[in-house]
Amino acid sequence: MDAVESLGFYCDHRLYPLNSYENRVYQVGIENATPLIAKFYRPKRWSAAQIQAEHDATLALKKAGVDVAAPLLMRGKSLFEHQGFYFSLTPKVIGEAPEPGNLNQLFQIGELIGAMHQASRDWQIEQRPYLSAIQRIERACKVVLESSYLPKSMTPAYVQVVEQLLLRITQTLPSHQSNSIRFIHGDCHRSNIIAHDDAMTLLDFDDCRMGYAVQDLWLHVSDANERRAQLSELIEGYESQCDFDSRELDLIDAMMAERTLVYTAWIAERWLDPAFPIIFPHFISEEFWRQHIQDLNDILVKWGQWR
């Protein structure tokens, strides 16, 4: 409340923590006004310049008519500091996450992502550069192997499946041109979209970066048995706003492997945060790691079935 009131607002003492493991996000009641969303950034994760690049991108998208939740501008600033923490304020968007597998909503999601990509088609965000799946996987693997959480008995199986995945990715990436890399949301799952009044609003650009368009689409496929129908709706909606290169579908397996590995390394890196053992108590069990290795092997087995 002190941080919010330092910008001239008056809080009504209604504070609600929102789901956010990486940062700390609160809905803050404001006297005689709509609540604000206050986002406090995890220290040392992003520099001020990188956070500002995120803000500038969302503000530019909003100006271009794309339905995104952009931070408030006050006296020409969107990023503020209070007691050593960077924070921002965003107007509350009322609604709920889209329903998994709803084909009509998948078309709308495709439209929204296509509009975002079309508006940002010529952008180059130097503060958020492209990192290949290989680079991100190698870093994640290093984090896991240097931690004490992976059982030693499972280390050989983990290393083996990671090496096999890296080989497949190495064989896949060269056929995709670097000039297809564009600005992307980077973490575009359904919890970062709000459906309201027959419209969709895209939230939380914390992981925005340069990448391939399909990265923002594939996370909305919620059922492997229905993936062709779901992808069809997503792409049809997308192409109503922006061209899509269907060859990028071959990258989804690499992106699945990357996300699975990076997610586990992320928990390992954050384990000393008091919230993480509470949220992920199974992380230190052998069953978690057995399932993790199985999930990686499943990606290998099903490789190349997205087209």
* Crossing angle for the helix pair 227-239 and 103-119, to the nearest 10 degrees: 40
**CA atoms lying within 13 Å on the CB side of residue 80:** 24
Give the residue carrying structure tokens 């069809």: 232
Q: Which two tokens stand for residue 269?
A: 């890196």
- Bridge partner residues of 28 (DSSP): 15, 36
Q: Which of 40, 32, 22, 27 is nearest to 91 (CA)?
A: 27
So which residues are the catalytic ones? 187, 204
How many other β-carbons are positioned within 10 Å of the β-carbon of residue 131? Answer: 13
- Bridge partner residues of 184 (DSSP): 209
State how far the Cα of 46 lies from the Cα of 48, in Å rounded to an integer: 7
